[in-house]
Amino acid sequence: MPVSKKTTRTPITSSPISQPTYTPPQPPPSPPLKPHQQMRSLLHGGEFAQKIFFTLLAILLVYVIFWVGTVIRNNIEVYYHIGQADRQERTISLDATAKVTATPDIAMTTLGMIVTGKTVAEAQAANTAVMNKLTAKLAELGIASEDMQTTNYNIYPQYNYTSEEGRILEGYEVSQSVSVKIRDLEKANQVIALAGEVGANSVSGLQFTIDDREVYLEEARMEALKKVYTKAQALSQALGVRIVSIVSYGEYETSGDVSPYMYDKSAYGMGGAEATPDIQSGSMDVEMSVNITFEIR
């Protein structure tokens, strides 16, 4: 009896390092959805998304309708006015002037000295002596320092022209003046007389005015307005129209008259210090003119 051989196989155990782990390939990323695909996704995304979409669509539709209507209306208006003149407003313009008579409460004048000398220092010394005496006397009369202001101070060379030597410097002229505001008008004549007393040889610009002029301007303005409205009411009744509103308003001040003053020439540095000029402030008129354009119907 034949003997069969039994073949045995030894199992092969794999080492943990011998074989790498297999990773299946990943599918490529999906391409972005196109606009119509996004719209389809939105429509099929649910009831809430559909409500939002239709709400926004309705708002857009209302805006487009409103815009189209505005464009159509503007085009119709432009077409309607082609070849027609612009509509003129019916207006009437009235003006009036009012005058208020006031008494001046301040006076303005300018006092000064003009002197010559061989040198600048000599001319300045003579000028300064007179002007310092003048300002001291003004202070004694009660003129405050803030009411005295130097308005000019000039130095000019003095030349003489001859045919033999041409231009020759003979000296210098120094001129100085101070502007004075006189608040007590009873002292105006005394201020002017100071020129002769101290030896000043320049007096100019005596002018009477009102310190707070706006008070009288307001009074004149109100009187002028009353005149305008009286005219407007009379014309409204006479023409059979109605005053609707004020289209424009304008006003301007007209110059008022000031009474002249009198003076004694001997007080103007001519050695007549004892005489004082006779100065009268008189009165002055403050005038205001107004112009109003009314719309009528």
**Total count of domains within the chain:** 2
Query: Does the pLDDT value for residue 57 go beyond 80?
Result: yes
Confidence of residue 69 (pLDDT cuts 50, 70, 90): confident
pLDDT value for 31:
60
178: in domain: yes
**Cα-flanking dihedrals φ and ψ of residue 162, to 5°?**
-130, 155
82: in domain: no
77: in domain: no
Which of the residue ranges 30-39, 65-74, 285-294 has the most confident prediction, judged by mean pLDDT? 285-294
Same domain, yes or no: 191 and 232: no
pLDDT value for 36:
56
* Least confidently predicted of 143-147, 209-213, 232-236, 242-246: 209-213
Are the C-beta atoms of 291 and 93 separated by less than 8 Å?
yes
Same domain, yes or no: 118 and 189: yes
Same domain, yes or no: 196 and 232: no
Same domain, yes or no: 125 and 269: no
284: in domain: yes
Query: Tokens 């005295």 identify what position?
Result: 148
- Run of H or E including 206: strand 202-209
Same domain, yes or no: 235 and 117: no
176: domain CATH number? 3.30.70.2970
pLDDT value for 66:
80
Please write the tens of the pLDDT for every residue from 96-126: 999 999 989 999 999 999 999 999 999 999 9
Same domain, yes or no: 99 and 230: yes
Confidence of residue 27 (pLDDT cuts 50, 70, 90): low
Domain that holds residue 168: 106-209
Same domain, yes or no: 93 and 215: yes
The DSSP code for 185 is: G
Query: Tokens 């006003």 identify what position?
Result: 251
- When pLDDT is averaged across residues 189-195 and rounded to a whole number, the result is 91
Same domain, yes or no: 110 and 199: yes
pLDDT value for 67:
85
Q: How many other CB atoms are found less than 10 A from the CB of residue 110?
A: 17
Same domain, yes or no: 272 and 293: yes
* Least confidently predicted of 61-70, 166-175, 215-224, 251-260: 251-260
56: in domain: no
pLDDT value for 227:
96
Please write the tens of the pLDDT for every residue from 248-278: 999 999 865 444 443 433 433 444 445 566 6
4: in domain: no
- Domain boundary at 163, 181, 209, which? 209
115: in domain: yes
pLDDT value for 264:
39
Same domain, yes or no: 201 and 238: no
- Domain boundary at 209, 228, 259, which? 209
- How far apart CA 24 and CA 40 sit, in angstroms, is 33
225: domain CATH number? 3.30.110.170
Same domain, yes or no: 117 and 264: no
Same domain, yes or no: 163 and 97: no
pLDDT value for 45:
54
Gap between the terminal Cα atoms of the chain = 148
pLDDT value for 93:
94
Amino acid at 81: H
- How far apart CA 118 and CA 140 sit, in angstroms, is 33
- Domain boundary at 188, 209, 230, which? 209
- How far apart CA 280 and CA 282 sit, in angstroms, is 6
14: in domain: no
The mean pLDDT of the chain is 80
